[in-house]
Amino acid sequence: MKTATLETSKKLQEAGIDVDTQFNWLKSHITSDCIRVFEVSENDLELFSLICPAPTFDECWQLLPHVILIGGERAVKELNNKAIGYYSLHGDDQEFSIEDNIAEACAQLALWLKSNGHL
């Protein structure tokens, strides 16, 4: 299952966006490599340190409000086959491409919402 990238996951955490997720990014005590794991165990923490949650698309999508105002116009949350974003009747849209990773796009949208006071 795809999750937000390590870099974006860190930004979510730094922005105070708390995503309830079962995936986490861990860093090896030995090699400093970062890995993504499902449900961290005590054994994992013997070899790795917890960096941050690694949210999936569904976990991020649940956080996002259905409707926001962009430029005074109502914009509705929407997912289509090319992008995720908020779309209004007058073209004041905010979208992110889902071509490579839909979870990453959704996390980027959450960061945009937070930075613009919508989350």
Q: Which residue has the tokens 């905010």?
A: 94
Distance CA 110, CA 100 (A): 17
| Whether residue 61 has pLDDT greater than 80 | yes
Stretch (H or E) spanning 73 = strand 73-79
pLDDT in tens, 23-48: 999 999 888 889 888 888 888 888 89
With contact defined as beta carbons under 8 Å apart, do 72 and 41 qualify? no
Q: Which residue has the tokens 């889902």?
A: 98
Distance CA 96, CA 83 (A): 5
pLDDT in tens, 67-110: 999 888 899 999 988 889 999 887 778 888 887 899 999 999 99
Domain boundaries, the chain: 6-56, 59-115
Indicate the pTM of the whole model: 0.88
